[in-house]
Structures are given as structure tokens and as C-alpha cells.
Amino acid sequence: MSSRGTVVFVVDARTIGVTPDDAVLADAVRRRGLSVRPVVWPSSFVADDVVLIRSPYDYVERPAEFNSWLDDLDECGATVLNATPLLRWNMHKGYLDDLAARGVAVVPTEMLAQGSTRSLAALLADRGWSRVVVKPAIGASARQTISVDGADPSSLERGEAHVRRLVVREDVLVQPFVASIQTDGEVSVVVIGGEITHAVLKQPTADEWRIQSEFGGVSVRVPVTAEHERVVASVLGAVDGAPAYARVDLVGIDGELHLMELELIEPELFFRIAPEAADRLADLVLPD
């Protein structure tokens, strides 16, 4: 624990302060006699600092710089949550392939490597997919994410152009469109210190498929089910290392829950509707 009794919340230059959700966590930390200091990355730290990676959202636009900054954190010896090896692994959605290879039920995924010349039409034909979602392999909050209907020539043309723009500079992810998101939503299961604390159902508005709040999506707390517990155990059991916090995003495919994304860097953890989870994470940063 920092000798100054301070916990650093890493943010980006646009956020500057803590988010409304993390304000609940900050209050929980302060109730334990510690102070909270939002710090914009990249910044320097020392060995006795405790550093919570909370809202550096712009890392997706500067991944090389973020990786280099993680190296600096390793060298200074600060306590970083989540640990830097987990952050590096989780930055690129190639981790989905890793988890699938370890037996986790993952939404089917095709990766187009940077510089690939493979057409989206050929990919859809090879996989037998009629509608897909295209997004960067390093991304957040639906950045550069579109839906493409392969049966609609104009939609497919737009999708091809989008892939060509992205693949010039980064890897691109292509997944089948999961229709259940529009009808049933997506469930985020939050895990703190290895234990499930709560689950949140995220649903899009009518005629929308993106569940993020900036697109009108709404989130409500729901009971944690045995199926949530089973799938989350499968996901986290396949991860090298135990995250201090994780958000496991699940969607239904043919009646079975599949992993959409495992969020270990800067996920919203919905502390405003589950403040006891903030208390649990605050306990993890207390001095031994």
C-alpha cells in the first residue's frame, strides 16, 4: 500500500476525474481511511503506489503507447490492478481464440490480420454467415463497429469498404450477428476477487442492436443464475492469472450462453446498482 495512503485511479485525458460509477468505488476506498487520486495515463509511479486501471478509454487509439506504459509500470514495481500481464492479454480480442482453444463457449470469431486482402464476402461464404458484426480487434464502446447484412448488396458493399479502411492499420474482428441481443439482451456478470458479486442485463432500444448507453441501451440488475455461475467459472478457469475485477459479457446462441467479451481493463462494473461490489473491491486495495 502506498505510504501516502492513496489509491490511484487511472483515467484518460477526456475523463480526467473518476466516472460516476467509479465515484461509488472511490467513496468505498475513502471509508477505509485511504484517499483517491485520479491520474491521467501515461504517468509515472513508484513502488509503493496502488494503481487501479479504471477509465483509460483512449488506450484503444494508442495501444502501442499503452503497452509501453505497462512496461514502465512493471519497472517501477507499483501494485497494479488488474495485473499488467492480464491487461496486455486482454487488450486484443485475439484472447477469444485463446479461450475457445481452452474449451470456453465463445461467440464464433474470425480475425482478419492487419494487411489482409481477404474479402468480407468470401469470409461470409466460407462460414455460412448471413449477417455479421465487424469491429476492430482492439476496441471499446462499439468503436468502429458496424452490422453487415450479407444478403443486402449495399450493406455488403459498405461492410467491405469498412473492412478495407480498418485492416490497413489494425486487425479486424468478424462475428455472426447474435440476434438474441435484440430480444433477450446481453448479461454482464461482475466478478470481484474471484467471487461473483452481481449480474446486469443490458438491453438495446427498439430497432437498435448496440447495448451501450450512448446508443440508448438500458441496464438493470438481475439475479445471478446457476448457468451464469457455470459459464463464468469456465471462462475465468481458462485465464492465466486471477483478475482482481472482471466483467464477463454473455449472450445466448441456440439456447446456450456464450462469451461475447471478457473485460479486464476498464469495464463499467455497475457499482451504482451494486454498491456492495465496490466495498469488496475497496477491501482488495487495503494494506496487508
Q: Which CATH number fits domain 110-176: 3.30.1490, 3.90.930, 3.40.50, 3.30.2010?
A: 3.30.1490
Burial letters 222-255, b for 16+ CB under 10 A, else e = eebeeebeebbebbbebbeeebbbbbbbbbbbee
pLDDT reported for residue 3: 44
Residues 246 and 196: their CA atoms lie apart, in Å, by 9
pLDDT reported for residue 167: 96
Q: Which three cell numbers mark 196?
A: 461473483
Which residue type, as a one-letter code, is found at position 69?
A: W
pLDDT reported for residue 1: 39
Non-local (6+) Cβ contacts of 33 within 8 A are 5
Domain 110-176 in the same topology as domain 95-101+180-279? no
| pLDDT tens-place string over residues 35-78 | 999 999 999 999 989 999 999 999 999 999 999 999 999 999 99
- The pLDDT profile of the chain, 288 residues, written as one tens digit per residue, is 344 589 999 999 988 789 999 999 999 999 999 999 999 999 999 998 999 999 999 999 999 999 999 999 999 999 999 999 999 999 999 999 999 999 999 999 999 999 999 999 999 999 999 999 999 999 876 678 899 999 999 999 999 999 999 999 999 999 999 999 988 999 999 999 999 999 999 988 877 676 776 766 688 999 999 999 999 999 999 999 999 999 999 999 999 999 999 999 999 999 999 999 999 999 998 866
Q: In CATH, what number does 95-101+180-279 get?
A: 3.30.470.20
Residues 175 and 78: their CA atoms lie apart, in Å, by 37
